């Protein structure tokens, strides 16, 4: 079973015509439509009949109403198929997602300058127009999807997030496919940190290999950029701030692309791999923010690295799965004891059974094990780990060939607070 390669592009709306209020009203009407489907379903109407009734009364264009009915019926089907979902209830969120077909409920056009213009039909005969804003990668993808015959622009949703409207656009590659999670045999746990990414490959039989890819230069550069910007602010040179911010973004962006390419190359050596990521939704809460500086440095784009890896992996037909990140840094993989004091910086030592390891590698092993559990596989004993390899991300392409910057660290170190010592 293969899945088509689909990406969701997240865009901000730069509105020229119409107003956010119209979008909010459109979302309220979307909520009313979905609630009406739930109500009619409870009253015993069959699903085909429901669609006709609801479409007649909706002030959304027909296609948008159909997408909304579909969304409501999906929720009902999940409820009837699986016991662990509650009955879909009347929804009272004001900002209910408004789902639309491309070319109907919304339309995108590419301008000569490469900007992507949008038109959203907020309700019948009510239009909101403007320009989309997205990250460089996402904008490039969207431009490709709009011009390349291999891609199709699909449904989009108007979503309310962080106090503003966003447009989430699905684009699908017509032929590329991603292998199903169910046929995967090697689980690649990914532990993203501010100065490295740790990977562990495990199967139902045991741990195959692990590696720590370091990118401390990203942390350093970010620190430097931060200091320079602070200094400029203090002397009132705010004009340069945006330039600095762009330079920093570009730097981090390029490095993360290089790192993600290595991550996917490493995974590709194993049989039928699947990537296992921590679900970042809860992640922000688990980071111990201290000062403002800390917050600044910690805001390393975890999500962006995951995003790049997921995308590159998908092109290699490698699927991804997400797991609950709770306690991945504190839990012992040998005895299961979970304690904050198990971890001291880069060193993990279980206060209960004494097991020791490189803290980030240990987290990656636990993440892959959670991936096995997530897909109902057997989790092997995890007490026999290979040596951790540490690979430095040496300023990108500047590495001479044949000088692979890999060093090794004993998996079970007995002292030192840093597992990532090398040369």
State which residue, 51 or 357, has the beta carbon closest to Zn ion.
357
* C-alpha dist (Å) from residue 423 to 392, 405, 409: 11, 9, 11
Interface with Zn ion includes 421 (CB under 5 A)? no
CB burial class (10 A; 0-12, 13-18, 19+) of residue 72? buried
Interface with Zn ion includes 75 (CB under 5 A)? no
Q: Exactly one of 22, 98, 334, 409 binds Zn ion (CB under 5 A); which one?
A: 334
Length of the chain, please?
A: 423
* Closest CB 333 distance from Zn ion, rounded Å: 8
Distant-in-sequence, close-in-space partners of 44: CB < 8 Å, separation ≥ 6: none
Interface with Zn ion includes 119 (CB under 5 A)? no
Interface with Zn ion includes 337 (CB under 5 A)? yes
Under a CB-based contact definition with an 8 Å cutoff, are residues 329 and 363 in contact? Answer: yes
Q: Exactly one of 72, 350, 359, 390 binds Zn ion (CB under 5 A); which one?
A: 350
Distant-in-sequence, close-in-space partners of 338: CB < 8 Å, separation ≥ 6: 327, 330, 331, 332
Residue window 151-180: x/- pattern of binding to Zn ion, with contact defined by CB under 5 A: ------------------------------
Rg of the chain over Cα atoms, rounded to whole angstroms, equals: 24
* Closest CB 351 distance from Zn ion, rounded Å: 8
How far apart, in whole angstroms, are the C-alpha atoms of residue 154 and residue 169? 7
Hey, which residues between 217 and 246 contact Zn ion (CB under 5 A)?
none
* Closest CB 328 distance from Zn ion, rounded Å: 15
Q: Exactly one of 353, 375, 381, 406 binds Zn ion (CB under 5 A); which one?
A: 353
Interface with Zn ion includes 335 (CB under 5 A)? yes
Hey, which residues between 262 and 301 contact Zn ion (CB under 5 A)?
none
Interface with Zn ion includes 332 (CB under 5 A)? yes
* Closest CB 342 distance from Zn ion, rounded Å: 8
Task: Number of residues interacting with Zn ion: please give it, by CB under 5 A.
Answer: 8
Cβ neighbours of 368 (radius 10 Å)? 29
Sheet containing 196-202: order of strands: 320-323, 273-278, 186-192, 196-202, 207-214, 388-392, 406-409
Only one of the segments 266-274, 331-339, 366-374, 390-398 lies at the binding site for Zn ion (rule: CB under 5 A); that segment is 331-339
How far apart, in whole angstroms, are the C-alpha atoms of residue 176 and residue 310? 14
Interface with Zn ion includes 381 (CB under 5 A)? no
* Closest CB 187 distance from Zn ion, rounded Å: 21
Binding site for Zn ion (CB under 5 A): 332, 334-335, 337, 350, 352-353, 355
């Amino acid at each position: 079973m293969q899945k088509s390669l689909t990406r969701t592009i997240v865009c901000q709306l730069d509105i020229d015509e119409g107003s956010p209020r119209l979008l909010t009203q459109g979302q309220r009407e979307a909520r009313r439509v979905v609630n009406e489907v739930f109500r009619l379903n409870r009253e015993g109407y069959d699903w085909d009949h429901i669609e006709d009734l609801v479409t007649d009364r909706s002030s959304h264009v027909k296609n948008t109403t159909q997408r909304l009915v579909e969304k409501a019926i999906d929720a009902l089907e999940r409820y009837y198929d699986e016991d662990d979902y509650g009955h879909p209830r009347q929804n009272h969120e004001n900002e209910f997602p408004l789902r639309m077909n491309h070319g109907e409920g919304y339309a995108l056009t590419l301008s000569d300058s490469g900007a992507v213009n949008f038109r959203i039909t907020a309700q019948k005969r009510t239009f909101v127009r403007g320009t989309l804003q997205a990250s460089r990668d996402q904008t490039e993808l969207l431009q490709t999807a709009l011009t390349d015959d291999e891609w199709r622009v699909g449904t989009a949703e108007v979503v309310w997030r962080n106090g503003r409207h966003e447009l989430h656009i699905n684009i699908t590659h017509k032929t590329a496919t991603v292998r199903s999670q169910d046929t995967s045999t090697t689980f690649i746990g990914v532990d993203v940190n501010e100065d490295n990414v740790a990977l562990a490959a495990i199967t139902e039989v045991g741990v195959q290999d692990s590696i720590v890819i370091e990118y401390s230069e990203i942390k350093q550069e970010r620190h430097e950029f931060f200091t320079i910007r602070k200094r400029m602010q203090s002397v009132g040179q705010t004009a340069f701030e945006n330039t600095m911010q762009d330079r920093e973004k570009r730097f981090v962006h390029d490095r993360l692309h290089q790192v993600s390419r290595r991550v996917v190359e490493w995974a590709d050596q194993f049989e039928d791999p699947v990537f296992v990521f921590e679900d970042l939704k809860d992640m922000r809460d688990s980071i111990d923010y201290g000062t403002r500086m800390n917050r600044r440095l910690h805001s390393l784009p975890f999500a962006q690295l995951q995003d790049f890896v997921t995308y590159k992996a998908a092109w290699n037909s490698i699927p991804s799965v997400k797991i609950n990140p709770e306690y991945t840094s504190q839990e012992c993989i040998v005895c299961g004891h979970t304690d904050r004091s198990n971890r001291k910086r880069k060193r993990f030592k279980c206060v209960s059974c004494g097991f020791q390891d490189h803290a980030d590698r240990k987290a990656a092993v636990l993440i892959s094990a959670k991936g096995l559990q997530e897909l109902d596989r057997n989790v092997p004993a995890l007490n026999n780990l290979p040596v951790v390899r540490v690979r430095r991300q040496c300023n990108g392409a500047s590495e001479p060939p044949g000088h692979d910057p890999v060093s090794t660290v004993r998996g079970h170190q007995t002292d030192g607070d840093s597992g990532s010592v090398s040369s």
